[in-house]
Each structure stands twice: as C-alpha cells, then as structure tokens.
Amino acid sequence: MGKAYLFAPGPTPIPPEVLLAMGRPIIHHRTPQFRRLFKEVREGLKYVFQTEQPVIVLASSGTGAMEAAVSNLFSPGDEAVVVRGGKFGERWGEICEAFGVRTVNIDVEWGKAVDPQDVERALKTHSRVKAVMWQASETSTGVMHPTKELGTLCQRYGALSVVDGITAIGVFDVPMDKWGLDVVVSGSQKAFMLPPGLAFIALSEKAWSSVERAKCPRYYFDLAKERSSQEKGDTAYTPAVSMIMGLKVSLELIREEGLPNVFARHAVLARAARESMVALGLELLAPESPSDAVTAVKVPPGVDGAAIVSTMRERYGITIAGGQSRLKGKIFRLSHMGYISKADMILAIGVVEVALRELGFEVELGRGVAKAQEVLFGS
C-alpha cells in the first residue's frame, strides 16, 4: 500500500478542497470571472501578509519573488547587508551578486539566529547600505531570525528591510505593516498549502518609491508593471490560473481558522516535535531560536543521516527532509507547516522512532510519541 505523507518543508500537503478547486475546468484570465476571483485572492493575501499594500502574485517558485525583490529595488553597485545563516541566506547573496549588488555579509553559524548587534555594527560602518536582507525563518537550519528587532534597526538607520518570509508567512506572526517591514516575500508550497508555482511579494510605500529609481535589469519580474495590471484584476502575463483557483480556497481556509489560531496550531505542533525529539535523546540544531515551520534534528553519531530520510520514505511512505549543503547527512528536518494536524504529528513522530531503531539507534518505542501526546493533548 503506497499511502504517502509529506512532512517536508515544501512542498507541503494540500487540503482536498484545494485539490478539487484546482481540478475544475480552467477559465480564461481576461474575463470578469477571473477578475472577480483574483480580487478575492488579493484581499485574502493582504490578510495573511497583514498589510494594506497590494500583494503581487507571480508565476514562479519562491526564489522568483526573491529575485524580483533584488532586481526591482537596487541599481548595480548598490550595497546590501545580507544575513547568511543558512542556504537561503546564501541565496540572497547569490542573487545580489548576479545583479551586481554589493553585499556586506553577516555570516552566522548555521543553527543560530543572527545577533541584531552584528547587523547594527554593519549598518554603522557601511553608511551606503540600502537594505538589509534576511530570512524570517531559515528553512535549511530551522532557525527563526529576530525579524521585529531587525526591522526596527532598519528604520533607525534608514535601510530597507527585505524579508524572506517564505516559511514564516502563515506560520508565525510577522505583521508586515505593524513592524514596518519594507519587503516580504512568500511562496505557495509552504504554509499556503498549494503546489509549488506561485510566489508572493508585498512592498511598503518606501520600497515602491525605490522601485521607481532602481536600475537593475528586469523584464518578467517587473513589479511596477505587475502592480498596475493587478490593481485592475489582471496580470501582466498569463497567470497560473488553476493555482489561483486553489489559492482562493486555501486563503478561505486560513481565514476561517483565523490567523491567531493558525499561529497557535503551528506553535504547539512545533513544540511537540522539539520536545519529542529531545525525549528520544536527540539534539536539536537550533534549540535557542527555533522556527515553528520546521524542526532540524542532529543525526546521532553512528547513524546514517540520509538513511533516516530514505527509510522513512521508502518503507513507511513518510517524506521528511535531510540537511542541505554543509548540513547534508548531519541533520534531518521534520516539518509541521501548513495542512498538518495534531494527529499527523503523532504519526510522523512514531515513524521517526521506528526508523531510528531500524538504523541502530537505541530508542524506547513510544517515548517521543508519549511526549508529543502530552504536549498536544494535555495531561
């Protein structure tokens, strides 16, 4: 029997009502019908991003919105501070490099959150810096960076805050307008409970005025052009119509549950994951500032890290993620983002125990599950 479960930090499971919506006959995008749908979606996105600004929808994976942020905000030769505490932090740096934006890198040990003082020091010593770029949730290490504090620093030093919220938006509270964040990006295959293929980006008024002056080359990801089309209910190019039909439903699900409840659910699932892994005698990669999207667990000595992932997937149909680049084989990552229930967590944790035991790590079966039951369902 091939029943499969996703506990990877993207793609995440998709609710059946979203799948059904995407399976409906496609509609044409230059019609009143699509414009009505898109208007609703744009309102729903504002709710989830917690902003009054338009949230631009792009047909790409999340990285497309990251690239759009760089190419639309900067001119070649501009300077940006980049927090590099994992694979996605490095990606900000790589995109900047591709567009000729100079970076002041703040290298953070993988598994740790950035110290705002280090960012402040960089802002003090580099007066030309135009923006600071970081991940609200660094998915490769399971770390939450201090977005509120960094946003405040950016305001104090007159730099734009550019936040990769791809595994933060819809997971934990990142109120864009309230915290005065300038750019927030996200993507469909994480907490939005959709397949990969849509990216989202919202800009503050200050960021929009930078867009007018920025000279980096761009064509497909021209945010000013998209904004003027999308305000009219259109998109500059053919939109991913079926995915937008699904997005309407997933946004309704988020609104029905209510953002505070969505955040509380992720928080308790994440706590269950962390505490159960510790109860099994495992060590967390990011115990101090963990993200509620994904839990990164150190592979215990003597166990083959890649085998934990493949055993769970091939024998038991449960897909978790391994480590990326320098963390390859050293960690496994259990995601609890998106369409995941308390009962789902019990299942995943139970199978982690079984896989670890099969690979020669001594575990008392049920110990992690019992801890998770306690956290999730009370004593």
First to last CA, the chain: 34
Residues 137-176 that bind ligand PLP (CB under 6 A): 139, 164, 166-167
CB of 165 to ligand PLP, least distance (A): 8
CB of 199 to ligand PLP, least distance (A): 7
What are the angstrom distances between the C-alpha of 175 and each of 180, 181, 195, 292, 315?
Answer: 8, 8, 24, 16, 41
Task: Give the residue nearest to ligand PLP (CB).
Answer: 62
Segment interacting with ligand PLP, rule: CB under 6 A, options 60-68, 103-111, 211-219, 276-284: 60-68
Q: Should residue 290 be labelled a site residue for ligand PLP when binding is judged by CB under 6 A?
A: no
CA dist 79 and 59 (Å) reads 28
Size of the site for ligand PLP (CB under 6 A): 13
Q: Should residue 93 be labelled a site residue for ligand PLP when binding is judged by CB under 6 A?
A: no
Segment interacting with ligand PLP, rule: CB under 6 A, options 48-56, 57-65, 114-122, 210-218: 57-65
Nearer to ligand PLP by C-beta: 37 or 83? Answer: 83
CB of 66 to ligand PLP, least distance (A): 6
- Contact call for residues 195 and 11 (beta carbons, < 8 A): yes
Residues 181-200 that bind ligand PLP (CB under 6 A): 187, 196
Residues in contact with ligand PLP, shown as a per-residue x/- string from 99 to 138 under the rule CB under 6 A: ------------------------------------x---
Q: Where are the alpha helices (DSSP H) in the chain?
A: 16-22, 32-49, 62-73, 87-98, 116-125, 147-157, 205-213, 223-231, 241-257, 259-279, 305-316, 342-358, 367-377
Burial 322-355 (b: 16+ CB within 10 A, else e): bbbeebebebbbbbbbbbbebebbbbbbbbbbbb
Give the residue, chosen from 13, 44, 54, 62, that forms a contact with ligand PLP under the rule CB under 6 A.
Answer: 62
Q: CB-based contacts of 38: which residues, under 8 Å, 6+ apart?
A: 57, 230, 233, 234, 235, 239, 244
Query: Residue 163 carries which side chain, given as an amino acid letter?
Result: V
Segment interacting with ligand PLP, rule: CB under 6 A, options 55-63, 172-180, 249-257, 260-268: 55-63
Q: Is residue 76 reached through a cis peptide bond, with omega within 30 degrees of 0 on the bond before it? A: no
Nearer to ligand PLP by C-beta: 63 or 155? Answer: 63
Nearer to ligand PLP by C-beta: 273 or 355? Answer: 273
Provide the binding-site residues for ligand PLP, judged by CB under 6 A: 9-10, 61-63, 88, 135, 139, 164, 166-167, 187, 196
